[in-house]
């Protein structure tokens, strides 16, 4: 096993947070964006997106469990 040196800059630079996951609903023009903070319902159009509603992480977890998702 070899050891490598890690400089102070590497230790003090936090990793980039993970990007949210976007789940599209077919060709409806709507999607759900899931992040570490919760989930948002998005309306998509040619100019970008608009957040229609959002729920927090605890509400999203409870909803996923209630529909038989990940535990």
Residue 71 has a pLDDT of 52
- Listed residue (50, 66, 56) closest to 36, CA to CA: 56
Let me know if residue 9 belongs to a domain.
no
Let me know if residue 6 belongs to a domain.
no
Residue 70 has a pLDDT of 59
Let me know if residue 69 belongs to a domain.
no
Enumerate residues 6+ apart whose C-beta is below 8 A from 20: 33, 34, 35, 36
Let me know if residue 47 belongs to a domain.
yes
Query: 46 or 15: which carries more pLDDT confidence?
Result: 46
Please tell me the total count of domains within the chain.
Answer: 1
Which residues span the domain enclosing 41?
A: 17-64
pTM of the model: 0.57
How many whole angstroms separate alpha carbon 45 and alpha carbon 47? 5
At residue 63 the predicted structure's pLDDT band, cuts being 50, 70 and 90, is confident
Q: Which of 3-12, 20-29, 53-62 has the lowest mean pLDDT?
A: 3-12
Does residue 69 carry a pLDDT above 70?
no
What region, left, alpha or beta, does residue 65 occupy, with left being phi > 0 and alpha being psi -120 to 50 degrees?
alpha
């Amino acid at each position: 096993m070899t050891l490598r040196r890690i400089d102070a800059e590497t230790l003090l630079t936090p990793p980039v947070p993970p990007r949210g996951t976007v789940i599209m609903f077919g060709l409806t023009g709507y999607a759900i964006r899931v992040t570490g903070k919760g989930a948002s319902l998005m309306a998509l159009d040619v100019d970008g997106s608009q957040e229609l509603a959002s729920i927090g992480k605890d509400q999203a977890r409870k909803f996923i469990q209630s529909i038989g998702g990940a535990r």
